[in-house]
Amino acid sequence: MTPPVRRGGRGRGFFRLGGIGAAVAAAGVLALGTGGGVAGGAVAGAGAAAKSVANPTVSGPVTGGVRGYPWNKSLFSLKAKGYDYSEKEYFYKGTATDLSTGATAPYESRMVVRLPKNQKRFSGTVLVEWLNVTGQSDLETAWPVEAQYLMKHGIGYVGVSAQLAGVCCGPTTLKGWDPVRYAPLVHPGDTFSYDIYSQAIRALRGPHHSGVDPMGGMPVRRLVATGASQSALYLTNFVNGGYNRNQISAYVITRGGGPYDTFSTPIFQLNEENDAIPQKDNKRYVGWQEAGTAHAPYQWWGYIIREEWRDGTQPNGVDAINDACSVNHGSVDYSSRALSHWVTRFLQTGKLPPHAPRVKTDSSGNIVRDANGLAEGGLRHVFVQVPVGYNSSTGCPLYGTYTPWSASKIRSLYRTHASYVNHVRLWSEDEVDRGWLLPADRADVMRKARGFRAPWNGGCTSACRAPLGL
């Protein structure tokens, strides 16, 4: 047995619900992703870590199966002005080691790889996500909010099936969803998930390959490991357990994770308003905490539910979560893209991302809220600094709440539409200066604000629903 150790911090876990009542029952599920411990192998005895990572055998691209396409097939078009990407799935296998005990086990897992078709357009950076499995299926958390940004900047994306719950054996796991395509996969349990993830990175890094090169000959100069929620907890164990072994350039850990015992590889963190940043910023660590956001906001959930409709894991057109919860509308995509920008710059120049204040809390640790119930402090986007609705982590567990305000309330804050747009202009300009918002996303938020006229032209009365992100 693996000796007990301290596990990582507050990775609470994205998950999928089958009905409205389940949204309330979610609180019981959340315990699976808290610091109290996801089953999955603690990482004691890191001093015994192997000096190098085994090179797995890679096969693919994988085709066929019952469905005829891979789980996690992108909903975003892979070709648009400025980019043209491929999406390929590979299987990889070998023998994984639990570094805390020395135990070994054979495995076969998979990765989804998205790269520019033209090698000249590849930036040399690849983002490798530890896919989230709290819902008993592999869920992407970075691609839904960053895909087009990554492709525009020539950044590769790889989603890795590191944990057992994504591979086998329920109806939404790989082997349950397409038992023909994923028949070869074998997972020995989550005590081995850390080395399974490490070996995926080894296959990407090269330079020598056993079997197929999943990078198609494109050399990886910078590799960023990322994961959210439960995956953030596992990446915390990965960091503290010595599983990197000189393969990873930086970590971007979101929606949980920490505290960390080492910053030998720099770590950048992005959490929602009620998930505290676990440590102070230092020369190799920066944490951003977003005011007004929830753990699983609609910017992410809206992508996932559309995937589920396509893949047949939820009834087409039915979104019980949003019907029950009115999921938080916070613009977490802006934060994600801004942090990606700064992490890329850090890897090129060594200059840290800009700092952001933490969300304010009182002496009891509760979030300090203004007269409208909105969180104070933190990294503040337009939707919470120049609000036209209520966005919070409160309400439904994980998903938070979005409540549109009435026209009269909005007009009490901004007498005219021009006044509202001016407030948005000034704050978004300030955000760009602070480094929390990219210029392209400032243009996006200004476009949305200019189009949101209903409270002032009679287009709405009691509930004025703003565009997503306002």
Q: What is the pLDDT of residues 41-63, one digit of tens each?
A: 333 333 334 468 999 999 999 99
89 within 8 A of 62, measured Cβ to Cβ: yes
In this predicted structure, the answer to whether residue 423 has a pLDDT above a threshold of 80 is yes
Q: Is the dihedral of CA 418, 421, 426, 429 positive or negative?
A: negative
In this predicted structure, the answer to whether residue 5 has a pLDDT above a threshold of 80 is no
Backbone angles phi and psi of 332, in degrees to 5: -65, -20
- Return the higher-pLDDT residue of 23 and 147: 147
Q: What is the pLDDT of residues 342-397, one digit of tens each?
A: 999 999 999 999 999 999 999 999 999 999 999 999 999 999 999 999 999 999 99
73 φψ region: left (φ > 0), alpha (ψ -120 to 50), beta (else)? beta
DSSP string, 341-372: HHHHHHHHH-PPPPP-PPBPB-TTSPBPB-TT
User: 40-49, 81-90, 119-128, 403-412: which range is least confident on average?
Assistant: 40-49
pLDDT of residue 51: 66
Q: Is the dihedral of CA 40, 11, 234, 216 positive or negative?
A: positive
d(CA 86, CA 88): 7
User: 17-21, 209-213, 314-318, 447-451: which range is least confident on average?
Assistant: 17-21
Residue 112's DSSP bridge partners are: 89, 159
Q: Which DSSP category does 316 fall into? A: T
d(CA 403, CA 425): 23
- Residue 125 to residues 84, 162, 295, Cα–Cα distance (Å): 16, 21, 27
Report residue 227's pLDDT band, with 50, 70 and 90 as the boundaries: very high
CB under 8 Å, gap of 24 or more: what pairs does 457-460 form? Answer: 457/417, 458/407, 460/407
Task: Please tell me the number of Cα atoms within 13 Å of 342 on its side-chain side.
Answer: 26
- Return the higher-pLDDT residue of 8 and 375: 375
Q: What is the pLDDT of residues 164-198, one digit of tens each?
A: 999 999 999 999 999 999 999 999 999 999 999 99
Report residue 202's pLDDT band, with 50, 70 and 90 as the boundaries: very high
User: E-assigned strands of 187-277?
Assistant: 210-211, 222-228, 250-254, 267-272
- Residue 444 to residues 213, 279, 289, Cα–Cα distance (Å): 38, 32, 22
- Return the higher-pLDDT residue of 1 and 253: 253
10 within 8 A of 276, measured Cβ to Cβ: yes
The label of the residue with tokens 């944490």 reads: 287
Q: What is the pLDDT of residues 318-341, one digit of tens each?
A: 999 999 999 999 999 999 999 999
Angle CA(273)–CA(288)–CA(362) in degrees, nearest 5?
A: 45
The label of the residue with tokens 């591979």 reads: 167
pLDDT of residue 315: 96
Report residue 2's pLDDT band, with 50, 70 and 90 as the boundaries: very low
Backbone angles phi and psi of 233, in degrees to 5: -65, -45
Q: What value does the mean pLDDT take over residues 422-438? A: 98
- Residue 300 to residues 183, 340, 390, 426, Cα–Cα distance (Å): 30, 16, 18, 27
